[in-house]
Amino acid sequence: MKPTDHTIILHHAADYVRQPWKNGQGETTEIARSPGAAFIWRLSMADITRDGAFSDFTGLDRTFLLLEGAGVRLYLGRAEVAHQVDQTSRVMAFDGGMTVRGELLSGPVKALNIMTRQSRVRHHMEPGTEASRTFLSDKNTTRLLFSLDDGLSVLLSGRTYRLGRHDMLELTCDSPTEMRVMPASETGPQMSPGIPYVMITIIES
């Protein structure tokens, strides 16, 4: 495979930038985003410490994944019945332009958020498992591998990358590319039993 067939960027947790929410009611930690002022995708972590409204991101699709804490109830639009995101049901996808209000179940939570530009790309967010797994990425695909372990190993193009807790590997492909992910449970001590990583796949529409 030619070196130009894909691009690999390692993002380290120590370099992430904290910033206020768009609505000023909390803080987020930006992990990475696509180039340009009007991003095509953005990955971030949010610390939610109180009940309140989510920011308006009209024009973006959004997926919310619970990382830490008991969970949160999400009220979407005018719905009176909440969608509960907790340790047994961690993922919730919704339109970023919807009115969303969150109510904490029991104390603060930390969540991972991926947002992508509608009509440009689509995305899928999937919690990893403790077993090794091989991902095959097609052309025009971006993979974001977010580590929840201190010692996640990734085999890619004959090279092994080691990710610390909250590090992220970004892979952009112009041709089919194979990535093997090996959780710390197979290579050493595991920090987050059951969910060693999160894989986000972004595909051009």
Residue 194 has pLDDT above 90, yes or no: no
> What pLDDT does 38 receive?
86
Residue 192 has pLDDT above 80, yes or no: no
Residue with more model confidence, 79 or 30: 30
Residue range 171-199: mean pLDDT, rounded: 75
What strands, in cross-sheet order, belong to the sheet with 100-104?
52-53, 100-104, 71-76, 83-86
Is 74:143 a contact under the CB 8 Å cutoff?
A: no
For the chain, give the secondary structure using H, E and C: CCHHHEEEEEECHHHCEEEECCCCCCEEEEEEECCCCCCCEEEEEEEECCCEECCCCCCEEEEEEEEECCEEEEEECCCCCCEEEECCCCEEEEECCCCEEEEECCCCEEEEEEEEECCCEEEEEEECCCCCEEEEECCCEEEEEEECCCCEEEEECCEEEEECCCCEEEEEECCCEEEEEECHHHHCCCCCCCCCEEEEEEEEC
pLDDT in tens, 95-143: 999 999 999 999 999 999 999 999 999 999 999 887 788 998 888 899 9
> What pLDDT does 140 receive?
85
pLDDT in tens, 142-184: 999 999 998 899 999 889 999 999 999 999 988 888 899 998 7
What residues are paired with 91 via a beta bridge? 65
> What pLDDT does 125 receive?
96
Enter the pTM of the model. 0.89
> What pLDDT does 186 receive?
53
Q: Which of 62, 61, 201, 63 is nearest to 138 (CA)?
A: 201
Radius of gyration of the chain measured on its C-alpha atoms: 17
Handedness of CA 91, 96, 98, 103 (dihedral sign): positive
Q: Which of 174, 139, 170, 169 is nearest to 152 (CA)?
A: 169
d(CA 157, CA 32): 23
> What pLDDT does 80 receive?
80
> What pLDDT does 42 receive?
96
pLDDT in tens, 49-87: 999 999 899 999 999 999 999 999 999 988 788 899 999
